[in-house]
Amino acid sequence: MHLELPIKNRISMQWNHALWLFILLLSAYLQASGQVPNWRYDQALIDNGHYWLLLSGNIVHLNWAHWGLNIAGLTIVAFFFSSYGSVFHWLFVILVSAVFVGVGLYWFNPDVSTYVGLSGVLHGLFIYGGLREIRVYPASGYALLFILIGKLIWEVVYGAVPGSEELTAGRVVTDAHLYGAIGGGLAAVLLSLFDQLVKVKNGQQDTEHD
């Protein structure tokens, strides 16, 4: 059995949209103010103790075309999946995905000296959204996950999706997408366990009050 959620609720405004708007405005400000070099993932600086760059590189972009593509992806998440989690849930997915991207690149991709972009985290958000979508709209949820996994397999075997590097005028670090997706999947599992624990605890409290 799966939940039924009216289509109108999928695209209605949610309080969570304040989170997406904050990300949009912050990333736009950093791009416009020339702060990208100070926020990007930089392996040499991280080696010297600037560990926050492991995370901050996810919020800045190579150029405005790169920014626009990522914000388009974020907009899809905001309007179609926001209702599937609280602000806490989405922040947790963002954080775990960002950690996996930054640490994954640092440990497994020493050839990547600098990195910018939200795309790795977006893959984590889409994985989480797809897993939650299955509970409500199984067909579209499975289709989304099938497409995402297929895309990731393509990137592992063949490299960047054709045309993506031309759009952004830069190299696409496909491994960041894989790391972000793994982070999003792990976050989904942990949040599901957390929600189950909360339900059990609330159920015990209700029993005690009865």
CA angle 75, 120, 136 (to 5 degrees): 55
CA dist 108 and 90 (Å) reads 26
Q: What is the pLDDT of residues 49-61, one digit of tens each?
A: 999 999 999 999 9
Full set of structural domains in the chain with CATH: 7-209 (1.20.1540.10)
Contact 163, 65 (CB under 8 A): no
Min mean pLDDT across 54-63, 110-119, 181-190, 196-205 is at: 196-205
Q: Rounded mean pLDDT of 136-154? A: 96
CA dist 152 and 177 (Å) reads 7
Which burial class, exposed, middle or buried, applies to 37 when counting CB atoms under 10 A from its CB (0-12, 13-18, 19+)? exposed
Is the predicted pLDDT of residue 71 greater than 50, yes or no? yes
Integer-rounded Cα Rg, in Å, for the chain is: 18
Token pair 């907009």 is at which residue? 75
- Residue 204 has a pLDDT of 65
